[in-house]
Structure 1
């Protein structure tokens, strides 16, 4: 995962161990005049100013995030059958069911959430019920304990969405996608910062366009400890993600070139594709200080990478498949000292720093130790991870964006509704630090982490989430999701179906199934003309936050509206209940002229709705 701050003077990263972060519980706040783009696999999450965002779960198959305030634009290029993408808000949980473009807004009070589907299909779950949101529709959900909802024509796009569309065009039109998979995070940054060349020995290689004198891979940046990978390289260059976490480097034609290797459908991320050299005696010989020094060089093509973190044999093969003949990889019997590493003797290939520079996440290029060639040749190969125990400074890394205002506490502590129960929070570093000393440089295995979590159960609980359908223990069932309330023109007369427990194709946390009491239908109050798309200045109250961004010179061309998949016929509507009298504190508005009823499809149980998801990838642009 990569986080790219835009207009960084007002961006605040909170509890992120590194700029690409990725641990459960990481939080991101964009202040006024700030934007951020977070890339997770082939999906992009973009935050408008004054947005509070966080990760609840993140692994190979699940992305679960929270949005407690602000605006989030999501571009999903590919969503597999066994993959889940959930956005949790104070009013409900939003499941994205297929590739497409989505927008979620939460107002500053946290009382109103709007979900807009430009392309794709979404499902909103709240209070034990779920309803779909189709292309070119906007759903508004109000309240958290007893929510009401309305589905209408999609809101008009604004300057914020125009900016997001321009980022999508940059994604889609990147020339580098001819040489690497679109799932290589950061590939779109290569076009503006380097050139592609064809070579007889390595095929297509990418050469950075402007670098400092004496530049070498893995020298301009810093190291940080990021679970579950361990020591991870954080590069300073704006293009410095893809070339340092995929592929290999080679010194040819008097300079360094990045070799992405063969294009594969699912490229595998690595924290740093380097080899460490040194040892205690060697560190003393070079005069690196009392704690010794740390040295490394980049891997070249056909040189295998064996991670120090705990992975399967399949991962080892997949992380090497683009640049190595995987049939030659022996996973169970690794001898890294017998390899004649090519970049070890390349000009400026080996980088050496002090132990303090490494472990304290200091900028490497400012502290490089110059070592004579004969001393470098004497250094023995240590392996693919530095045998250095991390400290608290290693985890927090260094600030890459400077100071900024913190978000209001009411925003960061605001409860969100979850459909899938998030995993346990990470064990705090203070509880892991002693165990990490037992095997320097190697992350803890799952068994050790489970033991630590058992011994420190309340050290870092998962706060501020509430299930969409809480368990009922001898109490009256929670009210079901109701269509509309005063101030929101109701468009539905069919009560939502209570969530059942049918089987679905991919695993998912169950949603509880309380039996709701019959909900009376409220007569329309002040309904607007549904045939017209509302103007930005005349959206029904309460409105979601709409960030005011500078206008863009270029607007995206409207995309064709995709066909909707065939769905079950709507269930017959029950007999309408008698409308209740208005509450004393609100006056009933004069009803407008009766409009023809527009009846959308019946809300589907959350688990049934996923069965017909389209899992095909987006077509590549012509």
Structure 2
């Protein structure tokens, strides 16, 4: 059998291989239980960050390809940036940020941001699927795909929400809510959705430009033509191999 045939991997097999490799990378095991249907993983780490898989302690340095499930908490150091991918969404933290994956399954992606900056690029949102970012004072629920940024300043109690693309609902105490459309930026004070300012989304800062460059890279992924964007690590295949059509197996990836 030719060597190429031996190392060729079909797109169907890659779907399973991606999840298995991510689990093995961090030595995770799920004893006496099925693995979760959806995981997040660290797709890029610039600078340093700390990770607590259970959200409470046992901090370890965060590293690329670490798989994360519900309860995992990330804290980025000043000047650092971290990117997570889960499903078709990319989640990016700026420096001095603290976020927890509150709930992660096939229907729900829910995060809690207690400090700093989180940008979420939600590529698709299926019927019945929920994407939510909670802060100490409010909750943002995306109602469509889009690009959403939340900034939390625990010193002032203010929360800044920027919707560059998409549509989202923001919820405060007592069921108060506002619908935010793109491109807008709102600054809220406290838990009652007191509006400090509102207006058009400003020009992109350095973090936003980094987010845009990462989105462009994922948009141009060759592997996304052959495998689902839901497959963990699909974009990581691009720099390490190429896709070819095999008459027997269809699309195959060759290192």
Q: Deviations over 1:167-191 (max 9, x none)?
A: 1111111111222122223211211
Q: Deviations over 1:563-594 (max 9, x none)?
A: xxxxxxxxxxxxxxxxxxxxxxxxxxxxxxxx
Out of 17, 29, 43, which is 2:89 matched to? 43
Tell me the distance in 1 between the aligned counterparts of 2:221 and 2:172: 39
Out of 48, 55, 71, which is 2:101 matched to? 55
Tell me the distance in 2 between the aligned counterparts of 1:59 and 1:92: 22
1:13 aligns with 2:59: no
Q: Deviations over 1:389-432 (max 9, x none)?
A: xxxxxxxxxxxxxxxxxxxxxxxxxxxxxxxxxxxxxxxxxxxx
For the residue of structure 1 that corresponds to 2:239, the secondary structure is coil
Shift of 1:104: 0.7
The corresponding residue for 2:72 is: 26
Give the TM-score normalised by the residue count of structure 1: 0.32
Whether the 8 Å CA contact 1:5–1:11 is kept in 2: the answer is no
The corresponding residue for 2:137 is: 91
The corresponding residue for 2:203 is: 156
Structure number with greater Rg is 1
Q: How has the CA–CA distance of structure 1 residues 137 and 187 changed in structure 2, closer, same or farther, with 3 Å as cutoff?
A: same
Tell me the distance in 2 between the aligned counterparts of 1:95 and 1:121: 9
Give the TM-score normalised by the residue count of structure 2: 0.75
Q: In structure 2, list runs of 5 or more residues that go unmatched.
A: 1-39, 56-64
Q: In structure 1, list runs of 5 or more residues that go unmatched.
A: 209-622
Tell me the distance in 1 between the aligned counterparts of 2:247 and 2:126: 36
Q: Deviations over 1:413-460 (max 9, x none)?
A: xxxxxxxxxxxxxxxxxxxxxxxxxxxxxxxxxxxxxxxxxxxxxxxx
Q: How has the CA–CA distance of structure 1 residues 110 and 20 changed in structure 2, closer, same or farther, with 3 Å as cutoff?
A: farther
User: Hey, which bits of structure 1, 4+ residues long, moved more than 4 A?
Assistant: none
1:180 aligns with 2:227: yes
Cα RMSD (Å): 1.8
Tell me the distance in 1 between the aligned counterparts of 2:88 and 2:156: 29
Any residues of structure 2 matched to 1:446-457 within 5 Å, and which?
none
Whether the 8 Å CA contact 1:122–1:132 is kept in 2: the answer is yes
Shift of 1:204: 1.9
1:130 aligns with 2:177: yes
For the residue of structure 2 that corresponds to 1:197, the secondary structure is strand
Shift of 1:131: 0.6
Tell me the distance in 2 between the aligned counterparts of 1:180 and 1:81: 21
Whether the 8 Å CA contact 1:137–1:152 is kept in 2: the answer is yes
Whether the 8 Å CA contact 2:51–2:73 is kept in 1: the answer is yes
The corresponding residue for 2:188 is: 141
Q: Deviations over 1:285-313 (max 9, x none)?
A: xxxxxxxxxxxxxxxxxxxxxxxxxxxxx
Tell me the distance in 2 between the aligned counterparts of 1:142 and 1:38: 28
Shift of 1:203: 2.0
The corresponding residue for 1:3 is: 42
Shift of 1:199: 2.5
Whether the 8 Å CA contact 1:116–1:139 is kept in 2: the answer is yes
Q: How has the CA–CA distance of structure 1 residues 167 and 70 changed in structure 2, closer, same or farther, with 3 Å as cutoff?
A: same
The corresponding residue for 2:167 is: 121
Whether the 8 Å CA contact 2:177–2:193 is kept in 1: the answer is no
1:205 aligns with 2:252: yes
Whether the 8 Å CA contact 1:74–1:101 is kept in 2: the answer is yes
Tell me the distance in 1 between the aligned counterparts of 2:156 and 2:101: 18
1:103 aligns with 2:142: no
Tell me the distance in 1 between the aligned counterparts of 2:204 and 2:239: 28
Work out which structure has the larger RCO, using CA pairs closer than 8 Å and 6 or more positions apart in sequence: 1
Whether the 8 Å CA contact 1:88–1:94 is kept in 2: the answer is yes
Tell me the distance in 1 between the aligned counterparts of 2:178 and 2:45: 35
The corresponding residue for 2:24 is: none
Q: How has the CA–CA distance of structure 1 residues 175 and 49 changed in structure 2, closer, same or farther, with 3 Å as cutoff?
A: same
Tell me the distance in 2 between the aligned counterparts of 1:170 and 1:41: 16
Shift of 1:156: 2.2
Any residues of structure 2 matched to 1:421-440 within 5 Å, and which?
none
The corresponding residue for 2:4 is: none
Shift of 1:207: 2.0
Shift of 1:101: 0.9
Shift of 1:3: 1.6
Tell me the distance in 2 between the aligned counterparts of 1:135 and 1:111: 24
